[in-house]
Structure 1
Amino acid sequence: MEFRDVVRRRRMVRDYDPDRPVPAEVRERLLEHAIRAPSAGFSQGWAFLVLETAEERDRFWAATTDGGTPDGWLTRMRRAPLLVVPLSHKAAYLDRYAEPDKGWTDRDEARWPVPYWDVDTGMASLLMLLTAVDEGLAAAFFGVPPERLDSFRAAFGVPAAYSPVGCLSIGYAGAEDRRSPSLKRGRRGVEEVVHRGRW
């Protein structure tokens, strides 16, 4: 598929065919492409929790939802045969920039105008989303509710130094996939968001 077609076809899919698992070789390509993302100082402060068995996925949904009757969104999302939780590792960046070639020996977070550990992990996530399209798969990126972070960490033994930036659901699109009502807002055009030379 041409790259421009991959970009144009990328969208968040919220329903999956539960009977079609993601082939192992495709899963590995998703992860191999993720680690090709840029990272400040080549810090590579990311990790990826891969959940593909029914037990692992059920444990994820139990840890990150309230346990009540699932709504339509959750019912469809739970059909995804593959979940990947990208986690950022801030200490990797603070340590990297304290090395001699960078010279910030104090590891002061104030030197970072934005949390590049989260930005870079987000870029790795986008590469997985684009790879999914290129492989003929469907995918979505969604957040882990802040009030469920402790239960998520406990369910999977995630160290405190790693923070989930979200979760990717991946699989083949299901029959009930529908476009998000948010799309009624329309995509903002280039002329609305690009400022050339000055604001």
Structure 2
Amino acid sequence: MEFRDVVRRRRMVRNYDPDRPVPPEIVDRLLEHATRAPSAGFSQGWGFLVLESREDRERFWAAATPKTDQWQQWLVNMRTAPLIVVAHSNKSAYLDRYAEPDKGWTDRDESHWPVPYWDIDAGMASLLMLLTAVDEGLGACFFGVPPEQVTEYREAFGVPKEFTPIGAVSVGYRADDHRSKSLKRGRKPVEEVVHRGRW
């Protein structure tokens, strides 16, 4: 598939065929491509939790999502995903890396960073998984773990304290689903969001 087609076809898919698992070689490609994302100082301070078994996925949904009616309604179709990959960032890896001699900072002071690149890099790795899924003929959706569920999620999967869940990517073969109501807002035209030379 041409790259422009991959980008054009990428959208959040929220309903999957529960009877078609993601082939192992595609799971491997998703993860390999994720690790090709850029990372500041080549820190690579990310970690990916791969959940393929029904038991692991059910434990994820139970631990990482609120019990509210709104969430439970949203989950009806999302629960059909045969694969969930949770992307994590590790701030310490970046602070340590930039305290090394070739980077010039002699401390681990977070104020050197204009934005949390550890989170941004994990987000870019997640985007590469989304694009890889499209290229492989699958659907995927990126979504977050609500703050009030992070502790329960960590405990359920033994996530080390230095790793922060940035978001999960559900992956599978698309089943019939409806487009998000948010799409009615329409895509902003390029001219509205791009500023050349001066804002």
**Separation in 2 of the partners of 1:190 and 1:68?**
37
Shift of 1:72: 3.4
> Counterparts of 1:1-199 in structure 2 under 5 Å?
1-67=1-67, 71-175=72-176, 177-199=177-199
Higher mean Cα deviation, 51-60 or 63-72?
63-72
Amino acid at match of 1:153: R
Shift of 1:105: 1.4
Query: What are the Cα deviations for residues 4-32 of structure 1, in whole angstroms up to 9, with x where unaligned?
Result: 00000000001011000000000000000
Query: What are the Cα deviations for residues 80-110 of structure 1, in whole angstroms up to 9, with x where unaligned?
Result: 0000000000000000000000121111000
Query: What are the Cα deviations for residues 51-103 of structure 1, in whole angstroms up to 9, with x where unaligned?
Result: 00000000000101234666432110000000000000000000000000012
**Separation in 1 of the partners of 2:156 and 2:42?**
30
Secondary structure at the residue paired with 2:86?
A: strand
**What is the percentage of aligned positions where both structures have the same residue?**
73
State the Cα RMSD in Å.
1.0
Amino acid at match of 2:20: R
Query: What are the Cα deviations for residues 94-147 of structure 1, in whole angstroms up to 9, with x where unaligned?
Result: 000000001211110000000000000100000000000000000000010000
**Separation in 1 of the partners of 2:73 and 2:17?**
15
Contiguous gaps of at least 5 residues in structure 2 = none
The aligned length equals 198
Shift of 1:161: 0.3
Amino acid at match of 1:92: A
Amino acid at match of 2:150: L
TM-score when scaled to structure 2?
A: 0.97
**Separation in 2 of the partners of 1:6 and 1:68?**
35
Amino acid at match of 1:65: T
Contiguous gaps of at least 5 residues in structure 1 = none
Secondary structure at the residue paired with 1:166?
A: strand
TM-score when scaled to structure 1?
A: 0.97
**Separation in 1 of the partners of 2:102 and 2:119?**
23
**Separation in 2 of the partners of 1:75 and 1:111?**
43
**Separation in 1 of the partners of 2:185 and 2:41?**
38
